């Protein structure tokens, strides 16, 4: 067994186990739930093999005398365990008794939600910080949320950038390395392999999803090609708010027949239930200025490596270098250039991990008609906001921050910081006070 690498989610998990009786860790297959659970387990019961179920059935109904935390790995294979844990918690509310991990929502739902007894925790693939691109990021999301820059500008709109909290740091990480990370993935067991093995493992991940996992989740694997075409169409829409109807229409082209709306909806719902889809919800503040915000979610897969693999794009195709051209074969869907969307997806994945650690929520903002768009809105528990734009180039270009400045004018002091994430080398404030930071230098 390979050495366990500490995860940011470990901090949340240990805090919860010290405070509540049961925690359910949810996340897509291969994000590392099992290894994380094993690191804290008092006793460990894997449930992905039905031959192990009798061992769990034989335990005392309240799990009395079993070393805690009791880890029930892939509990959705035995959905009745949820209610059994709930009843055991009702009997004994001692913190840290149970840890459940799951890679999908069970087809047979528990009879009780577990509210007030079982706390859920989302686990995602490695963030950029966990991948170790930089040992010490210099700009923290916590610091951005706590910044008084918004308050300073509210009190005096003429406050110069030099008078705001300082921002600094340098990195040697290049665009090639970011693209390598996109293709390498954040799945712990996959990312450490060589390029050939990674491609095969990612291909196997997709094939298992469309042929086996969906069957286990709801019997949808009778047409694996249809599922894969829908996933490929979805991959081409990452970091956009393309409608699901348009995604289904795109998936229909290579199939040579329309994809029924009910079928496409079933694909979407089951893939979301398996945590493969990671939609970023639309955001609307309570302020009147945002009454016309479009709440359509922004599409994301759990890992941009899956999107790249579905689209058949490796580093050369994403970058458009070394003679590689993104060519559309006759009769097939157009293969778009994906550097910008995939880089945004990589940053979004990391920001989701950092925000979860801080108890913050991640949204995006798009006004109706698309007049104004902000890639990511991070809202803390105190309603303070950090707005983030993501650009896959090293230096800011004219207009890159215009939506951030528009939002700052409307939110006032509530906007703690406006941030532009780039592929550049230096972190700093621009003349308008916007924080410019390379993705590798942004941490929790």
Whether residues 115 and 143 fall in one domain: no
Whether residues 286 and 399 fall in one domain: yes
Q: Does residue 249 belong to any structural domain of this protein? A: no
Q: CATH number for the domain including 93?
A: 3.40.50.300
Q: Which of 74, 96, 123 is the last residue of a domain?
A: 123
Q: How many domains does the chain have?
A: 2
Q: Does residue 196 belong to any structural domain of this protein? A: no
- For residue 428, give Cα distances in angstroms to 144, 432, 434, 435, 438: 13, 11, 8, 6, 10
pLDDT tens-digit readout, 292-345: 567 899 999 999 999 999 999 999 999 987 554 544 445 554 445 899 999 999
Whether residues 321 and 179 fall in one domain: yes
Q: Does residue 438 belong to any structural domain of this protein? A: yes
Whether residues 139 and 86 fall in one domain: no
pLDDT tens-digit readout, 150-202: 999 999 988 999 999 999 999 999 999 999 999 999 999 999 999 999 999 99
| 97 touches 69 (CB < 8 A) | yes
428-429 and 442-443 strand pairing: unpaired
Judged by phi (left if over 0) then psi (alpha if -120 to 50, else beta), residue 95 lies in beta
Q: Which of 81, 100, 123 is the last residue of a domain?
A: 123
> Which residues span the domain enclosing 421?
126-186+278-444
Whether residues 154 and 50 fall in one domain: no
Whether residues 17 and 156 fall in one domain: no
Q: Does residue 234 belong to any structural domain of this protein? A: no
Q: Does residue 199 belong to any structural domain of this protein? A: no
The rounded percent of the chain whose pLDDT value lies above 70 is 91
Q: Does residue 313 belong to any structural domain of this protein? A: yes
Q: Which of 72, 102, 123 is the last residue of a domain?
A: 123
Tokens 């689209």: give the residue. Answer: 311
pTM: 0.93
């Amino acid at each position: 067994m390979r050495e366990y690498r500490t995860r940011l989610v470990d901090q949340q998990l240990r805090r919860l186990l010290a405070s509540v009786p049961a925690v359910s860790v949810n996340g897509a297959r291969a994000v590392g739930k099992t290894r994380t659970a094993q690191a804290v387990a008092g006793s460990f019961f894997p449930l992905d093999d039905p031959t192990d179920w009798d061992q769990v059935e034989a335990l005392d109904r309240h799990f009395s005398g079993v070393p805690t935390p009791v880890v029930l790995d892939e509990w959705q294979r035995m959905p009745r365990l949820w209610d059994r844990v709930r009843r055991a918690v009702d009997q004994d509310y001692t913190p840290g008794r149970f840890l459940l991990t799951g890679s999908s929502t069970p087809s047979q739902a528990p009879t009780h939600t577990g509210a007030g007894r079982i706390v859920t925790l989302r686990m995602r693939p490695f963030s950029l910080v966990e991948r170790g691109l930089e040992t010490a990021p210099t700009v923290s999301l916590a610091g951005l949320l706590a910044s008084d820059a918004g308050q300073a500008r509210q009190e005096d709109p003429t406050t110069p950038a030099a008078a705001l909290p300082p921002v600094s740091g340098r990195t040697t990480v290049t665009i090639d390395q970011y693209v390598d990370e996109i293709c390498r993935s954040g799945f712990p067991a996959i990312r450490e392999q060589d390029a050939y093995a990674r491609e095969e493992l990612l291909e196997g991940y997709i094939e298992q999803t469309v042929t086996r996992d969906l069957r286990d989740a709801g019997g949808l694997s009778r047409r694996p090609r249809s599922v894969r075409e829908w996933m490929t169409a979805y991959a081409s829409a990452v970091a956009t708010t393309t409608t699901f109807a348009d995604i289904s229409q795109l998936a229909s082209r290579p199939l040579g027949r329309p994809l029924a709306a009910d079928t496409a909806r079933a694909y979407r719902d089951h893939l979301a239930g398996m945590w493969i889809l990671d939609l970023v919800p639309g955001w609307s503040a309570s302020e009147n200025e945002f009454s016309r915000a479009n709440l359509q979610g922004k599409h994301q897969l759990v890992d941009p490596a899956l999107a790249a693999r579905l689209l058949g794009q490796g580093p050369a195709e994403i970058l458009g270098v070394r003679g590689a051209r993104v060519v559309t074969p006759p009769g097939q869907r157009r293969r778009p250039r994906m550097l910008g969307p995939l880089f945004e997806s990589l940053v979004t994945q990391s920001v989701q991990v950092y925000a979860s650690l801080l108890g913050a929520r991640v949204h995006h903002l798009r006004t109706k008609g698309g007049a104004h768009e902000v890639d990511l809105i991070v809202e803390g528990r105190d309603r303070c906001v950090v707005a983030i734009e993501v650009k896959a180039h090293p230096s800011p270009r004219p207009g890159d921050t215009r939506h951030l400045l528009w939002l700052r004018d409307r939110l006032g002091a509530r906007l703690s910081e406006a941030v532009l994430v780039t592929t550049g080398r230096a972190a700093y404030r621009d003349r308008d006070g916007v924080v410019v930071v390379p993705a590798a230098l942004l941490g929790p």
